[in-house]
């Protein structure tokens, strides 16, 4: 008797689903899809306001392909692997509120769309350098953090800013990893917050900021390692004491407070001399301050005793 080897897709007639059941299920799916546009609108971000590119901020490299920048992410609230982008879609970007409090003259809680209307929105191309030695070049749409600080007016006693990420257990499976010190908090000094480069993206590649990249609102410090750039921010607190930060709490020897990019200062477990460009996989030399020294190096004069790098 010949032995028939069926490929996996070749199901015997007995296992084939009857036609009526298939079409019935299709009809059901079609009606669900028809209802989907309305459901998809819940929590969606509106289009970005009209804005122009600020030509002072050029990436100096080819832009990373949008698809690469939006599918290769670090966002531990959604999981500790690079492919969290799909799961992150479940996080609603509206409504969204930002609380700005602590040592400020005008503590305020903003609805994000009210805040955006108050801010000078523009596009800037920045390089982003992760401490893991990969890099991207991204066109961000957003506003300088300084503009927001001018609204709330930090008191002279306020020396640091703490940026707190949303904690949404229903959509963030990573929060179940209870050994991490949630919520994610990152921090900077007042001088760093007021630096012209410190930017609060609400978009990238001309679109509202995707959840996996920190939508609807994040911070970026392009001269520092990417772990300082907190995502999906709900609260900014101005305070006198240096805040405890997420990575600084987990591994203080490896992730310092300042975390400025420097090719000459290795991470304890790997070199920082070069970086891998996401998308092209080209390896290029890293530059001190990620190439932004003319904007930022002056801020660190007198702080040479601090561990300024990594
Ligand atoms: N912010 C939060 N809340 N959680 C995170 O895990 N990862 C950081 C930073 N911001 C992280 C975060 C790290 S390590 C990097 S390199 C950048 O986000 C990555 O940003 P990207 O995914 O937009 O490239």
Ligand 1, atom 17: nearest CA belongs to which residue?
A: 226
Query: With a 6 A CB cut-off, is 247 part of the ligand 1 pocket?
Result: no
Other beta carbons within 10 Å of 95: 10
Query: With a 6 A CB cut-off, is 75 part of the ligand 1 pocket?
Result: yes
Cα 80 to chain centroid distance, Å, stands at 14
Query: With a 6 A CB cut-off, is 74 part of the ligand 1 pocket?
Result: yes
Query: With a 6 A CB cut-off, is 76 part of the ligand 1 pocket?
Result: yes
Task: Return the SS3 of 117.
Answer: helix
- pLDDT score, position 67: 98
């879609």: which residue's tokens?
Answer: 89
pLDDT greater at residue 204 or residue 36? 204
- pLDDT score, position 4: 44
- pLDDT score, position 91: 98
Establish if 217 belongs to a structural domain: yes
Range of the domain at 107: 38-46+58-300
Query: With a 6 A CB cut-off, is 141 part of the ligand 1 pocket?
Result: no
Establish if 3 belongs to a structural domain: no
> pLDDT digits over 289-306, tens only?
999 999 999 999 999 999
H helices then E strands: how many in the chain? 8, 11
To 10 degrees, the CA torsion angle through 108, 236, 42, 202?
A: 110
Residue ranges of E strands in the chain:
97-102, 108-111, 122-129, 134-144, 160-165, 185-189, 199-204, 207-208, 233-239, 274-277, 283-285
Ligand 1, atom 9: nearest CA belongs to which residue?
A: 227
Ligand 1, atom 19: nearest CA belongs to which residue?
A: 74
Over 50: is that where the pLDDT of 115 sits? yes
Establish if 22 belongs to a structural domain: no
pTM for the whole structure: 0.88
Q: Are 286 and 128 in contact (CB under 8 A)?
A: no
Of 10-24, 94-108, 180-194, 255-269, the least confident: 10-24
Q: Report the domain count for the chain.
A: 1
Establish if 206 belongs to a structural domain: yes
Establish if 234 belongs to a structural domain: yes
- pLDDT score, position 248: 96
> pLDDT digits over 8-21, tens only?
344 444 454 445 44
Establish if 195 belongs to a structural domain: yes
pLDDT band, very low/low/confident/very high, at 41 (cuts 50, 70, 90): low
Q: What is the mean pLDDT of the chain?
A: 90
User: Both tokens of residue 310?
Assistant: 């990594």
Over 80: is that where the pLDDT of 211 sits? yes
Establish if 112 belongs to a structural domain: yes
* Pairwise CA distance, residues 277 & 167, whole Å: 31
Over 70: is that where the pLDDT of 3 sits? no
* Pairwise CA distance, residues 214 & 227, whole Å: 12
Establish if 193 belongs to a structural domain: yes
Q: Which residue intervals of the chain are DSSP H helices? A: 19-41, 66-69, 85-88, 112-118, 145-152, 190-194, 246-250, 293-296
pLDDT greater at residue 89 or residue 36? 89
- pLDDT score, position 259: 98
Q: What would you measure as the largest C-alpha separation in the chain, in angstroms? A: 91
The set of long-range contacts for 3-12, using a CB threshold of 8 Å and a minimum separation of 24, is: none
At a CB cut-off of 8 Å and minimum separation 6, what does 231 contact? Answer: 75, 165, 184, 213, 214, 218
> pLDDT digits over 176-200, tens only?
999 999 999 999 999 999 999 999 9
pLDDT band, very low/low/confident/very high, at 241 (cuts 50, 70, 90): very high
Query: How far away, in angstroms, is 299 Cα from ligand 1 center?
Result: 24
Select from 52, 73, 56, 64 the least CA-distant residue to 292.
56
Select from 210, 98, 119, 75 the least CA-distant residue to 164.
98
- pLDDT score, position 310: 85
pLDDT band, very low/low/confident/very high, at 39 (cuts 50, 70, 90): very low
* Pairwise CA distance, residues 239 & 101, whole Å: 9
For residue 268, give the CATH number of its domain: 3.90.420.10
Task: Indicate if the alpha-carbon torsion angle 122, 127, 130, 131 is positive or negative.
Answer: negative
Query: How far away, in angstroms, is 30 Cα from ligand 1 center?
Result: 37
Q: Which of 77, 84, 201, 214 to mutate to test the pocket of ligand 1 (most atoms within 8 A of CB)?
A: 214
């Amino acid at each position: 008797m010949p032995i028939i080897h069926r490929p996996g897709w070749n199901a015997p007639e007995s296992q084939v689903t009857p036609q009526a059941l298939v079409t019935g299920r299709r009809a059901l799916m079609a009606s669900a899809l028809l209802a989907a546009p309305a459901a998809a609108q819940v929590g969606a971000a509106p289009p970005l306001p009209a804005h122009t590119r600020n030509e002072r901020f050029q990436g100096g490299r080819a832009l990373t392909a949008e698809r690469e920048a939006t599918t290769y992410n670090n966002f531990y609230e959604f999981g500790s692997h690079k492919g969290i982008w799909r799961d992150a879609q479940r996080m609603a970007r509206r409504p969204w509120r930002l609380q700005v409090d602590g040592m400020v003259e005008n503590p305020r809680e903003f609805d994000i769309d009210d805040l955006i209307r108050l801010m000078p929105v523009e596009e800037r191309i920045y390089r982003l350098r992760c401490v893991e030695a990969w890099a991207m070049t991204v066109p961000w749409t957003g506003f300088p953090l300084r503009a927001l600080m001018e609204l709330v007016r930090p008191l002279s006693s306020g020396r640091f800013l703490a940026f707190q990420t949303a904690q949404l257990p229903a959509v963030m499976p990573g929060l179940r990893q209870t050994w991490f010190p949630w919520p994610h908090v990152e921090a900077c000094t007042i001088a760093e917050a007021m630096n012209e480069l410190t930017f609060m993206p609400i978009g990238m590649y001309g679109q509202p900021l995707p959840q996996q990249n920190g939508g609807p609102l994040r911070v970026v410090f392009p001269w520092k390692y990417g772990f300082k750039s907190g995502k999906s921010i709900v609260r900014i607190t101005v305070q006198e004491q240096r805040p405890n930060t997420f990575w600084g709490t987990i591994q203080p020897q490896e992730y310092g407070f300042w975390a400025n990019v420097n090719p000459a200062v290795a991470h304890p477990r790997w070199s920082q001399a070069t970086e891998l460009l996401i998308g092209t996989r080209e390896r290029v030399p890293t530059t001190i301050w990620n190439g932004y020294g003319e904007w930022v190096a002056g801020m660190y004069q007198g702080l040479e005793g601090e561990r300024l790098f990594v």
